[in-house]
A and B are shown apart, each in its own frame.
Chain A
Amino acid sequence: MKALFFILIFVVIAVAIWQFVKLFGLTKGDQITTEKENNINGWFMLGLLGFIYGLMIYSMFAAKDMLLPQLSASTEGEHIDLLFKMTMTLILIVQFAMQFFIFYFTFRYRGIKGRKAYFFADSHKLEMIWTITPTIVLAGLIIYGLWTWNNIMDFSDAEDPLIVELYAKQFQWEARYAGEDNELGSASVRMIEGTNTMGVDFSDKNASDDVPLVVGEGKFVKELHIPKGRKVIFKLRSQDVLHSAFMPHFRAQMNCVPGMVTQMAFTPSVTTAEMRLNEDTMAKFEHINKIRKDKGEEAVEFDYLLLCNKICGSSHYNMQLKIVVDEEADFNKWLASQKTFAQLN
């Protein structure tokens, strides 16, 4: 019933607008636009250009603290960042120029009574220019883009990579390391039973040395450790619906698809400790902690994150896993302290 009340308010506002218009006799005037209207709207259009420019510049400055740290946490991400910067520069130039021409011409050629428009229907030369120029620029972007893409997606020749399985389900992440033989034991959702939540097939000889990720001693949440400077290949599985493993700091993302194993890989290049000392990160977290303090929440530290980035149900917005990048020696020590399936069962 309250909904009806709100709808009624909207209707009343609509009627009021029309009555107001009638009352002030605003319905008069020529059908074709008058010179005065062209003039006012021409100036307003110039104002809109200013608003768009202002918004662009303001957003770029205001967003500085807000964005991800400029420093990519993986070596592969550096290429992405470079390509991104190139593309963004091009975009900004095109955007500034095109918007300028649209609104400046609108303002400059706003209608005046008696002025004759210039009959200009075609120009082969101009058409060629603006077909060929974008073609050349795009060819450059495409070539560099494809080189980067292949570089990231093809990791068949990686030397001694660390293999980690990420297992997604509503609404949490599980993981297991491939262990000493660096091969994951086979698994299937049909094997899920009791504590075997990932459906690992223990009759597979590769499975016994696999290391499942559990909540560490004295910790509250699972921490996925990975080493700096060694290629990590993630094998992704899902138990129920589509999920997506999104690690924005590493510029990495891949969907988890029930019924198949997908994969992605990157080489971490900045440890958690190093990233906490990064300038961008420090500025961002200073800002965040100020906001948190005002809200009466406790301060937080930077941590790498794995987020779910494919709609997966009610708690999609809170499906996360903390990631820790260690120096390789520390990582090895940590991994050695974890229990294998053989030790657990």
Chain B
Amino acid sequence: MSDHHHKETFVTKYVFSQDHKMIAKQYLITGIVMGVIGVFMSMLFRLQLAYPEQSFSIIEAFLGRAGEGGVMTPDMYLSLVTIHGTIMVFFVLTAGLSGTFSNLLIPLQIGARDMASGFLNMISYWLFFLSSVIMVISLFVETGPASAGWTIYPPLSALPQAISGSGLGMTLWLVSMAIFIASSLMGALNYIVTVLNLRTIGMKMTRLPLTIWAFFVTAIIGVVSFPVLLSAALLLIFDRSFGTSFFLSDIFISGEVLHYKGGSPVLFEHLFWFLGHPEVYIVILPALGITSEIIATNSRKPIFGYRAMIMSIIAIAFLSTIVWGHHMFVTGMNPFLGSVFTFTTLLIAIPSAVKGFNYITTLWKGNLQLNPAMLFSIGLVSTFITGGVTGLILGDSALDINVHDTMFVVAHFHLVMGVSAIFGMFAGVYHWFPKLYGRMMNKDLGYLHFWLTAISAYGVFFPMHFVGLAGLPRRYYNNTAFPIFDDLMEINVVMTIFAIIGGLAQIIFLSNFFFSISKGKKAVQNPWNANTLEWTTPVEHIHGNWPGEIPAVHRWSYDYSKTDDNGELWGGQDFTPQIVPIRDGEEEF
């Protein structure tokens, strides 16, 4: 593998690094920066929703002309929700989450010296960085950033006459996303190849930690579905700039008939959701993988139903690629297709339910170490279920009619993929911080962070279901134009207050994170008494991960509290790392 004794300069070590651990850190920091922008935007538009006509100097300070007098314009409101969605879904929860933990954990947990291609890995990060920069630049263009919703349905996204954000802002959005997709494909291919080829001796696929299974399957879904979004983006660029009519037809706008003929926006919706739905699982599966690992470790118990968990991950991945039409029940798609998609969509509830039950059974009769990582993992299971159950309503075409595109949908997906995945990301950061930086994060601040975040997450998104059931559509700048929504004002204020508390609580995390990098307590090699391979590497990062030979693996990663025939713990401790050979009389699980 890589040259151990090669002299490293600042640039090769910290900037154009090909070391997977450094790249993981780069992904994490970039993800955090983007996350701060995304969350801050949500606080601004929550202010607008709760206090539609009031003036806030913070709005004027950040939005400038679009927030003149402290009240944002409708276009700016739409831009904020659009960019908030884009940033959170793609830049934070896809690249920030998957990019960080796949890069960090795949080589460390399967026993590899680095990714299959360190160079491709580096290119992947820098393309992601470039796309982030372009997305941020798009916030500053004169006609405003993209504002057609994160789903960028044409014709709204195709015609600058329709909304000002569809001018230069939209062009930059599309360019940024095209680069992002290239980055994500390179990363995903690397993960797949690495998992398949670079496992250490004895690391059979059925001995892989569930984290790796989740990252591996996620990468496959990404490779299958992201190119379709790329094609949609390219065709949209063609329609916008070169006069083609893939998605446009029969349009009369600003007093003139446009030349487009024969295209269909519904085609775009199909292409978009062919990525868009798997994307939900690209976001949540890594979080669930992280949770599996953390819950097992801190329950001091094996994960319940390891094989069923793998089967569920695969089943979810497969089903995720054939359910995209449930986003399109009322788009004019053939009703028969609606029936098919209802069927496949509700099937997803089965593997998801299995996962939920297995997590709960893992907690049962454990000896739970409730550290911040564990709290966030349990929080994830809770929000995943709360958000997931309402999927039964949205996935059922007949019921979807009346809640489609209302705030009910917003509440549903924020809980099931937004909050859950963010919780998974926090859990991962708290758990693997010692591996990332060789230091511990402050536990007390971690607790405070969890409690404020969990309560405000529920406080924002639980009441939101009812706002949706009252019929309020999403992406409404305000609801004062409809007297029937006048009584939603109070609940909007409550949600906004929770949103602000939740947003500000993240300062605690940021403070803890950045100070712990340099000031945190020094970590020991295996701080959580875990079984997986990454805790056999030295605390200080070295190129190639293990100083000598890569250790061989003799068992799965969940031998926690395993007892011998006499009911005594093997070796007198409640964990048996994967590198420990099977003992006399011990049966491998």
- A interface residue numbers (CB < 8 A to B): 2-3, 5-6, 10, 13-15, 17-18, 21-22, 26-27, 29, 31-33, 37-38, 41-42, 44-45, 48, 51-52, 55-56, 59-60, 62-63, 65-68, 77, 79-80, 83-84, 87-88, 90-91, 94-95, 98-99, 101-103, 105-106, 109-112, 115-123, 126-127, 130-131, 134-135, 138, 141-142, 145-146, 148-150, 152-154, 169-170, 188-190, 192, 199, 236, 239-242, 244, 246, 248, 251-255, 257-260, 262, 284, 287-288, 291-292, 300, 302, 305, 307-318, 320
Contact = CB atoms under 8 A, between A and B. Distances in A.
Given A29-B443, A240-B155, A288-B483, A254 B360 contact: no
A110 B354 CA distance: 24
A263 to B, nearest CB: 8
A189 B148 contact: no
B250 A190 contact: yes
Nearest to B359: A102
10 contacts: A6-B58, A21-B445, A91-B390, A94-B389, A102-B359, A103-B378, A120-B364, A146-B343, A146-B398, A239-B251
Given A6-B61, A152-B401, A314-B74, A37 B370 contact: yes
A257 B249 CA distance: 9
B315 to A, nearest CB: 10
Nearest to A42: B370
Given A127-B305, A248-B402, A240 B162 contact: yes
Contact of B306 (A122, A252, A288): A122
B521 to A, nearest CB: 6
The 7 residue pairs across chains A and B that have the minimum distance between CB atoms:
A259-B249, A262-B332, A2-B61, A153-B335, A248-B471, A63-B466, A118-B365
Chain B CB count within 10 A is highest, among A90, A121, A312, for A121
Contacts, number: 412
Contacts of A98: 356, 360, 385
A98 B397 CA distance: 25
Given A26-B442, A110-B368, A309-B404, A292 B363 contact: no
B466 A84 contact: no
B32 interface: no
B479 interface: yes
B159 A310 contact: no
A97 to B, nearest CB: 10
A240 B375 CA distance: 49
Contact of B368 (A38, A239, A313): A38
B155 A246 contact: no
Nearest to B471: A248
B295 to A, nearest CB: 10
Given A31-B440, A309-B406, A240 B251 contact: yes
Interface string B343-365: 10011011001101101110111
Which of B60, B365, B569 has the largest number of chain A CB atoms within 10 A?
A: B365
Contact of A59 (B61, B386, B462, B476): B462
Given A130-B354, A253-B330, A259-B248, A309 B369 contact: no
B386 A127 contact: no
A22 B518 CA distance: 13
B579 interface: no
A18 B515 contact: yes
Contacts of A10: 507
Contact of B367 (A3, A111, A255, A308): A111
B364 A291 contact: no
B149 A311 contact: yes
B217 to A, nearest CB: 19
A2 B465 CA distance: 36
A241 B360 contact: no
B330 A254 contact: yes
A65 B75 CA distance: 32
A188 B304 contact: no
Interface string B317-355: 000000000000011100100110011001101100110
A314 B60 CA distance: 19
A107 to B, nearest CB: 9
Given A122-B305, A138-B349, A292 B149 contact: no
Given A41-B370, A95-B385, A241-B162, A149 B558 contact: no
Given A118-B365, A190-B252, A240-B252, 20 more contacts: A17-B445, A31-B524, A32-B527, A91-B390, A99-B385, A106-B378, A109-B364, A116-B367, A122-B307, A149-B335, A149-B339, A170-B162, A254-B332, A284-B484, A284-B487, A291-B487, A309-B473, A311-B156, A316-B476, A316-B477
A156 B381 CA distance: 45
B264 A2 contact: no
Given A116-B574, A153-B338, A55 B74 contact: no
